[in-house]
Structure formats: structure tokens, C-alpha cells
Structure 1
């Protein structure tokens, strides 16, 4: 009886040793074997996801070979609660430890978002929403945050005109606030001291410079003509002639449907430069650097008028007679 019990005990110990040896071998193999995903794999880790669920997502995507072992690894390293949310891109073979380090570091996929020149504040917010950074309401709430005006020294009651248009690189888990603040930093950086000095010599402060640049941005079909368009507006401002810029009228029309009418031109608003002298109440879009520079350094010409030729360029003239002749030619086809 004792001999039988001893044999059973030995067999049990041998089995446990074998299991332990196999488990140790399996874990070691898991740790030492790189896993190659099948092509590029995007793994989204929502905020607050349990470690086990994260590991299961990684295993299902072919990024790791065993979710349970991965969970044990994270707990053994003390990083089980340090995994950062976001969208991760896996394309190359990697060891489980390397995968875990990326998750803890927050090495998420990088995104590039291009915000073109000439977008209004609302259009910029819509682009952010379309890109998937947030909802439109969230973007509008951020760009309407009055605290940003003081924090980034915006001399206005709105961020309109001060979000610099450019291509920005962001982490996939970035908040929309980060993008807006990056745009504000660029907007302030690009308006350099020499630009402000040049504008000051022409009677413009920073806000007026940005306002004029936004009109130039909306009127110009190409960067090369911006200094000429700027000259027309500077000459009109100096002569006390209304700017008569259609984009300013459009900006002041709620729910504009794309059809600019005589009624629109005749309706006074804080932005209708047909019904006022000087600049409108503020910027009508976010201007790029070329428009800002053109506003500060207009061409040295005496033009007072321009009309679109229909090919992306404009005909510039000094007198009303010349301008009317150009309008008949390019706009009325006479």
C-alpha cells in the first residue's frame, strides 16, 4: 500500500514537473518568438479597456500569439494599468515585449490633417469632424472657447482668422484641443515682427492685418496676384473708397446659398464692404502666409479695380472706365 502511494506521488510530481517544464518552454517560446501580422493591422484600443480585452484584440489581429501569456507579461512587468488608448499600426514582426512597450509608451499611429487656406472657422471645425478627430459640435465648442483668446494673445473676440492653415501631424489619440492650439501657435509665429512693422507703417494693427489678409485670401485665385489685390485694397483704404469685396458680403449673410444678389450687396452688415468704408468687423477666413505677407507688403501700383477673367486670374485697372470695359469683356461677354 505504501509502495503504491509512493508511486502515485512520484507520478503526480513527474506530471507536474512535465507540465511546468512545458509551460515554461511555452512561455519562453512566446517571449522569444516574433509574430508577423498578416499585412498592416490597425488595432484600436478604447480608453478604459481591460488588459485581457486588449490582449485578445492583439491576438485576434495576429500581433501576438497568446493573449493569456501577454496579460501575464504585463502584470509581471508592472505595466498592466499603463497601456495607453489609441489606434496602433502593426506591420513588422515584433516580440511581445516590444508590442507591450509600444502600448505603454503610447506609440500610436500618426495622422496628417491638411487644413487649406481660406476656410472659415466653421469650415475648419467641419474638417476636423470629417477627419474623425471629434464631432462638429465638439470642434465648434473648442474654437469658441474664450479662454484661448487670452492664452494665445488673440486681439479679437473670435478665433476667426487666427487658426493657421497648414498640414499638421498628430497622434491618432490626439484631442481636437491639441490641433486648435497648434494652429494658434503657428498663427502667432507666422506673423513676425517685420510683418507687423510693415503693417503699422500702413496704419494697420495685427487684427487689421489679419482681416485684410483674409479678404485677399478669399479674392485671390493664386499667390502671385495677392500683392496686386492687396495694393487695390490699400489704395482704396487710403482714398476712402469702399473695398467692395464680395467675399465680405457673403461672410455676413447667414445661410448663404451660393447666389450673391443685389439685395445682399445693399443690406448693411458689419462685414458688407459695399455699405461701409474701411475694413469689416474682423477676418472672414483663415489666411495663409502668402496672404499675410501680401497684406503687409502690397505691390507698388496705383490700381483701384480688378475683375475676374474666368481663368483664375484678374484684370487690374486704375480707372473706372477701364474697369467697366473689363467687366463687359470678362463678365458680360460683350
Structure 2
């Protein structure tokens, strides 16, 4: 008899708990949770128990058991998505679970300027917390990497499009590369017929565009610089571009010397004719356009005015006069 009373009591208690849980889920999931304001980070591979603890510590749920129950009842497709999430004051538990289920992670705005190398991009992305800079750089210069994205060449240099992006934090390097290459393809696809019409394959086109990008940051000068390079190529002249020489110097210290210009390597366009071995930076849209749309001029030379702009010349004699005026002799 006593056992019967205790048995019925346990059933009644369980029913009561179930009623409380049901009542909470009916209203509690949508109730604003002031303590939830802030953020939560779910690492890759986190278990359901760990996610429940993260949600509890963030103030979304009062107890991990409730969080576990909520996760199972709401049935997030594919489970909680890894990443960092930010919530405003008063976010409900349902809103938090919805965001975690959809993978609506916090994103950071990253500006990758034109003319950066992959190594320089790695530093920018690493500083923003987007990806591991060492792993990103290693991937970009891995000889097998271009093939993974169906691109020519031994590295990804030149194919990482400079632009403003919004990225989640702590992404795998492959995810970031895929985004940059996808944007590169979006920009270059409409221009590719013009490149082919000029006899350029993708790698040669991007190489020429990268040289233009590194030579000038003035938009109206890019077609002029492109014209100089095209005119010299037609005449069989060496391109004599300082940025190509610099790219081939390990740990360049900023001081380009005459010895550097005389030292042969695959990127030295003072020694070798034609384009360098590959891109020397990642060019933007304007330089890619200039490479296939050079200005209709006969210039063969240009020299910096030391203010970001250049003087262009048709003859070597005229060029020497401008060099004497604007440039100090190299050691």
C-alpha cells in the first residue's frame, strides 16, 4: 500500500515536472533573456553537452539540462554551427537557438587592398582573426594549391582578389581562399575574351596586371603603364620593372640597389626579356582592365615624380632628363 502511494507520488511528480517543462517551452523560449546579451563561441567539434554549457554560461538558459532539452526539442538541422555569435539585449532563447542552428555567426569586415601579396594578405586576415596566417600563407604558396582551384601556376599569387569582405572568425584557410578565388573569377570572367584576343592566357594576363598594380596607384595612369609594357614587349625590349625584381629578393629590406638589378632570377625583368615568372601581387579590377585595354600612346619609359605620379616619355633621351630631375642615383 505504501509502495503504491510512493509510486503514484513519483508519477505525479514526474507529471508535474513535465507540465512545468511544457509550460516553460510554451512561453520561456520566446521570453527576452537580458543575461543573454553579449556573445557565445562554439568551437568546431563541440559536443551537445558542451554547447549546452556554453548556452548556460551565456545566460541563455538557467541550467544545462534545460539547454540540452531545448536543443533536442527544437531539432536544429545538422546541429549547432561552430563560430562566434553576438546577441543584443533581450534576445530570446528561441532567437539564440535559431541563430546557432542557421550558423548566423558574427562577421568581421576585412579590407584587402589592391597590390598585396598573399603573404601580406595573410597578416591582414590573421590580425582580423579570420584565419590562421601561417596556415593561410603556407596554403597560398603550396605548389599543389592552384590545382585544387583549377588555376595555373605553382602558387595562388595573383588569384586572391583584393576587395572588402565580411568573414566569420576562425575559418579554415581553404574557406578564405575559396572566397577570394570566387571573387577573382567573378571579376575576370567578363574580361577574359579581351585577354585572349591579345594573346594572353590567364596567368600571363594576371602577371601583367600585377606589374601595373605595383607600378602605380593612380587610376588614370594604369592604362599608360600598361601601354609602356605592351610597347616594350612588341619591340623585344626588357620591361625593367622594379617591383618584379623586388618580388624575387628574399627578405627585401626596402633598398633596391644596382647589384639587385644585375642579379639574375626568374622575376628580374632588367635581366630577362618578357614577363616575369608569375604574378608579383594580387591585382584589382582596374589593373586587370588596363592590362587588356592599354592607352593608345607610344610611350616606352616612365619615372616616378616621388609623389605617387609618373612622367612618361617616348625616347630614352627624354627619359634620362626626367630621371636626372626626379631620381637619385642608386648605389
TM-score above 0.5, yes or no:
yes
1:184 and 2:181 matched: yes
1:236 and 2:232 matched: yes
1:252 and 2:244 matched: no
Q: State the distance in 2 between where 1:226 and 1:26 align.
A: 65
Sort the Cα spacing of 1:151 and 1:135 in 2 relative to 1 into closer, same or farther, 3 A.
closer
1:36 and 2:27 matched: no
Match of 1:143 among 140, 149, 174: 140
Q: State the distance in 2 between where 1:101 and 1:189 align.
A: 32
In the other structure, the counterpart of 1:298 is: 294
Sort the Cα spacing of 1:91 and 1:80 in 2 relative to 1 into closer, same or farther, 3 A.
same
Are 1:307 and 1:315, in contact at CA under 8 Å, matched by a contact in 2?
A: yes
Sort the Cα spacing of 1:260 and 1:17 in 2 relative to 1 into closer, same or farther, 3 A.
closer
Q: Give 5+ residue unaligned stretches, structure 2.
A: none
Are 1:113 and 1:169, in contact at CA under 8 Å, matched by a contact in 2?
A: yes
Q: State the distance in 2 between where 1:196 and 1:81 align.
A: 40
Shift of 1:158: 1.9
Shift of 1:80: 11
Shift of 1:26: 5.8
Sort the Cα spacing of 1:160 and 1:22 in 2 relative to 1 into closer, same or farther, 3 A.
closer
Of 173-182 and 266-275, the range deviating more from structure 2? 173-182
Q: State the distance in 2 between where 1:183 and 1:328 align.
A: 42
Q: State the distance in 1 between where 2:199 and 2:15 align.
A: 88
Shift of 1:181: 1.5
Of 64-73 and 249-258, the range deviating more from structure 2? 64-73
Are 2:36 and 2:90, in contact at CA under 8 Å, matched by a contact in 1?
A: no
Match of 1:94 among 85, 91, 94: 91
Sort the Cα spacing of 1:198 and 1:99 in 2 relative to 1 into closer, same or farther, 3 A.
closer
Shift of 1:332: 4.0
Shift of 1:270: 0.7
In the other structure, the counterpart of 1:207 is: 203
SS of 2:303's equivalent in the other structure is strand
Are 2:131 and 2:169, in contact at CA under 8 Å, matched by a contact in 1?
A: no
In the other structure, the counterpart of 1:113 is: 110
Shift of 1:171: 3.3
Sort the Cα spacing of 1:75 and 1:191 in 2 relative to 1 into closer, same or farther, 3 A.
closer
> Over alpha carbons, which structure has the higher Rg?
1
Are 1:128 and 1:176, in contact at CA under 8 Å, matched by a contact in 2?
A: no
Are 2:118 and 2:281, in contact at CA under 8 Å, matched by a contact in 1?
A: yes
SS of 1:133's equivalent in the other structure is coil
Sort the Cα spacing of 1:48 and 1:161 in 2 relative to 1 into closer, same or farther, 3 A.
closer
In the other structure, the counterpart of 1:321 is: 317
Shift of 1:201: 4.2
Of 322-331 and 56-65, the range deviating more from structure 2? 56-65
Q: C-alpha root-mean-square deviation of aligned residues, in Å?
A: 3.1
Deviations, residues 275-329 of structure 1 (Å, cap 9, x unaligned): 1221111111111110011011100111111111122111111112211211222
In the other structure, the counterpart of 1:49 is: 46
Sort the Cα spacing of 1:221 and 1:73 in 2 relative to 1 into closer, same or farther, 3 A.
closer
Shift of 1:50: 3.8
- TM-score with structure 1 setting the length: 0.85
Are 1:163 and 1:187, in contact at CA under 8 Å, matched by a contact in 2?
A: yes
Q: Give 5+ residue unaligned stretches, structure 1.
A: none
In the other structure, the counterpart of 1:331 is: 327
SS of 1:306's equivalent in the other structure is strand
In the other structure, the counterpart of 2:218 is: 222
Of 54-63 and 116-125, the range deviating more from structure 2? 54-63
Match of 1:128 among 122, 125, 132: 125
Q: State the distance in 1 between where 2:309 and 2:270 align.
A: 22
Shift of 1:175: 2.4
Q: State the distance in 2 between where 1:288 and 1:80 align.
A: 39
